Chains A and B, each alone.
Chain A
Amino acid sequence: MRPVYLDNNATTRVDPAVVEAMLPFFTEQFGNPSSIHSFGASVGQSVKKARQQLQQLLGAEHDHEIIYTASGTEADNTAILSALEAMPGRDEIVTSAVEHPAVLALCQHLEKTGRAKVHYIGVDSLGRLDLEAYRAALTDKVALVTLMWANNETGTIFPIEALAELAKEVGALFHTDAVQAVGKVPIVLKGGAIDMLSLSGHKLHAPKGIGALYVKRGARFKPLLRGGHQERGRRAGTENAPGIIGLGKAAELAIAHMAEEQTRVKELRDRLENAILQRVPNCFVNGDIRERLPNTTNIAFEYVEGEAILLHLTRNGVAASSGSACTSGSLEPSHVMKAMNVPFTAAHGSIRFSFSRDNVPEDVDQVIETLPKILEKLRELSPFWAGANKGPNEFKPVYA
């Protein structure tokens, strides 16, 4: 049985070219990039080159607008805490109900400890931001708007540039968690209204443990980590040179493969999605199928539970993911499904398939062959299934 990996929104395989680029920086080029001697200086040059590669991927105006971090989470946390400190007199944050926990957990903590008032903007049944509520929350008390570019569970894309423009009208800083979007959709930050952007290396075929925060030149910023003078004093700590070089190479590869994401990868995703919808009764796609990442599909299977599906898929060599229910130790559907008001009959059985450029048509074939049988078996076990089967293509979600 060949392994099929369709969980690329969780993490991606490190590209062999990225590994190759990194290797010398563990051995012969081991110098500290901050050192002035030749050992350090050459590494420093490579770090600079990597910064420029990332600058290109983001369409940023200056390479020094990029601050390396250890993860997307660190980048998100830095952006939020920095904004609160850098915007005296403002203590409100506007975010959405479907953000990644890297944003939500910090916002909830800030709220609980009285450091900020947080507006959690809701979404509709397709995961689209409630624009009316967003506009209403924007006042001159808002220090920061932090909204994700693309949702990690459904792939739904927010109109992030336009949302940033609105935030500028009240003088708030604008941050986007673009961890899922970078490398999959074209991004041009130069000349736009986005002040800060977070990304993570392991989502775009670079290693784990390296992330970055873009901070627009002129945007107010206060560092999270203090100590050394690395990253122009904005993030202390010796640079993770191999990780940074790997991320730079991954950025270069992402630019080269951007079109492939929108064509070949998207076609694979669509072929799987269509086949599942045709062959499995009582299932539907979660999220906005028009404004969506090209690699992601999240399908709700009624009357079965996600972990049970995943266990069977794993046994058949297929790796996917369920954002809900028992996989997280909670019996509740994910906060994203809840925010979208996906009915309980389906929210518990939502499975995310996320592709990358590594996937091939045979991967899709294997899932198509396996999944309908799994659903049939689990539904036979389900006390809610009897009488619920309305046959292929007859079921329509009532909330859409």
Chain B
Amino acid sequence: MWDYSDKVKDYFFNPKNAGVLGEANAVGEVGAISCGDALKLMMKVDPETEVIQEAKFQTFGCGSAIASSSALTELIIGKTLEEAVTITNQDIADFLGGLPPEKMHCSVMGYEALQAAIANFRGEEWRDDHEEGALVCKCFGVDEGVIERAIRMNRLTSIEQITDYTKAGGGCLTCFDKLEELLAGVNAALVAEGVLAAHEAYRLGVADAGEIKAKAKARKEAEKEAAAPPASPLAPASPLPPPSAGMTNLKKIRLIEEAIEELRPYLKKDGGDCELIDIDGANVMVSLKGACMGCQMASVTVSGIQERLIAKLGMTIRVIPVKSHAH
């Protein structure tokens, strides 16, 4: 059985705000019985003030799904829609004292139901990302269509790249076999179309799930270390090694600009963008724009940019996101 926090257990065994809200004027429904979990969030919103006066839920799912749903209602009651819309799945998990990594999708379901309910109140259409084929990565809610498109558009040839571009496989990695299958399938099609060299294409069995997990774990730990203390994003937590000898500042700036220019098309495809703001030694200040700004996965994007810069420059670089008006 999972190692649930006491708060998760409490919210599962004694869920608050469970049931049907007859006077709901904002309803968000996500998930499906075929996927193993589903949530119907019902809210009563004051049309004048847009304050969420009441919220109730019905959930089909495991202990953490029910606890996350209940926690969500606690988090949103009394908030305005403007305030509620900024609540992320991490806020739900944090409220519960954390969730096992494999159960983070439960909090994502809560986040999605909230977005759907707010859209429902505003008369907008909320697009369910799970409608493009089978759901592959449950931790991050990524479906087959999104993964196939990312592989095809970006000529991805490794599992790690899929994770970097779509987040799929970034959690428990139980979707490893499916990711492999999709990657090999799309790569084979790209080879047949003549847009990918045969030797570059991914072959089944080349990657090792255990190794990828270990690398991801090491990366997460390194990120955690680099992120502490979080006092100021402009104040690096620890001194970084000096830039590689022999590289002029001008060359370094050009390479960084080049790398960011190479990345921008991918970010733009997802409705986001990135702009170089400043360089200070090994610190590179960037501004995330569009969908990237405020995205719950922004830290993953920043870490991806950092990895690309390190690879390009062959030196340790710290990428620090700053607001665009900083320059």
Q: A314-B1, A315-B13, A329-B172 are in contact. Are A308 and B33 (CB under 8 A)?
A: no
Q: A112-B205, A305-B65, A329-B102 are in contact. Are A382 and B60 (CB under 8 A)?
A: yes
B205 touches A308 (CB 8 A): no
B138 touches A348 (CB 8 A): no
Select one of A331, A344, A345 contacting B138, CB under 8 A. Answer: A331
* Measured CA separation A128–B317 after assembly (Å): 60
Q: Which B residues touch A305, using CB under 8 A?
A: 36-37, 60-62, 65
Chain A, residue nearest B175 (CB):
A330
Mask of A289-332 contacts with B, CB within 8 angstroms, 1/0 = 00000000000000111111011101100000000011111111
* Measured CA separation A325–B64 after assembly (Å): 12
Q: Which A residues touch B59, using CB under 8 A?
A: 381-383
Select one of A310, A326, A345 contacting B61, CB under 8 A. Answer: A326
> B219: shortest Cβ distance to chain A, in Å?
20
Number of B residues contacting the other chain (C-beta, 8 Å)? 36
The reply on A384 being an interface residue by CB < 8 A is: yes
Residues 81-119 of B at the A interface (beta carbon under 8 Å):
102-103, 105
* Measured CA separation A74–B312 after assembly (Å): 47
Q: A326-B103, A381-B15 are in contact. Are A332 and B36 (CB under 8 A)?
A: yes
The reply on B174 being an interface residue by CB < 8 A is: yes
* Measured CA separation A382–B138 after assembly (Å): 20
> A41: shortest Cβ distance to chain B, in Å?
43
The reply on B12 being an interface residue by CB < 8 A is: yes
* Measured CA separation A112–B205 after assembly (Å): 6
Q: Which A residues touch B29, using CB under 8 A?
A: 383
* Measured CA separation A338–B8 after assembly (Å): 30
The reply on B204 being an interface residue by CB < 8 A is: yes
* Most chain B CB neighbours (cut-off 10 Å) among A303, A304, A384: A384
Mask of B158-195 contacts with A, CB within 8 angstroms, 1/0 = 00000000000000101000000000000000000000
* Measured CA separation A382–B12 after assembly (Å): 13
Chain A, residue nearest B18 (CB):
A381
* Measured CA separation A194–B1 after assembly (Å): 37
Mask of B28-65 contacts with A, CB within 8 angstroms, 1/0 = 01000111111110000000000000000011111111
Mask of A330-348 contacts with B, CB within 8 angstroms, 1/0 = 1111000000000011001
Q: Which B residues touch A348, using CB under 8 A?
A: 33, 36, 60
- The A interface, classified by DSSP as helix, strand, loop or mixed, is helix
B40 touches A383 (CB 8 A): yes
* Measured CA separation A333–B36 after assembly (Å): 8
Chain B, residue nearest A112 (CB):
B205
> A337: shortest Cβ distance to chain B, in Å?
12
Q: Which A residues touch B20, using CB under 8 A?
A: 386
The reply on A113 being an interface residue by CB < 8 A is: yes
Select one of A113, A314, A345 contacting B33, CB under 8 A. Answer: A345
> B133: shortest Cβ distance to chain A, in Å?
15
* Measured CA separation A384–B66 after assembly (Å): 14
The reply on B229 being an interface residue by CB < 8 A is: no
Chain B, residue nearest A307 (CB):
B62
* Measured CA separation A311–B63 after assembly (Å): 7
Q: A383-B38, A384-B33 are in contact. Are A329 and B61 (CB under 8 A)?
A: no
* Most chain A CB neighbours (cut-off 10 Å) among B9, B105, B174: B174
Closest A-B pairs by Cβ, 7 of them = A331-B36, A326-B62, A383-B58, A307-B62, A329-B102, A383-B40, A112-B205
Known pairs A326-B63, A329-B174, A383-B38. 12 more at Cβ < 8 A? A113-B205, A305-B37, A305-B60, A306-B62, A311-B13, A311-B63, A328-B174, A330-B138, A344-B34, A380-B18, A380-B19, A381-B19
Q: 24 A-B pairs, CB-CB below 8 angstroms?
A: A112-B204, A113-B205, A305-B36, A305-B62, A308-B12, A308-B66, A311-B12, A315-B13, A325-B36, A327-B1, A328-B174, A329-B102, A329-B172, A329-B174, A331-B37, A332-B36, A344-B33, A348-B33, A348-B36, A381-B19, A382-B58, A383-B59, A384-B38, A386-B20
Could you list which residues of chain A lie within 8 angstroms of chain B, going by C-beta atoms?
112-113, 303-308, 310-312, 314-315, 325-333, 344-345, 348, 380-384, 386
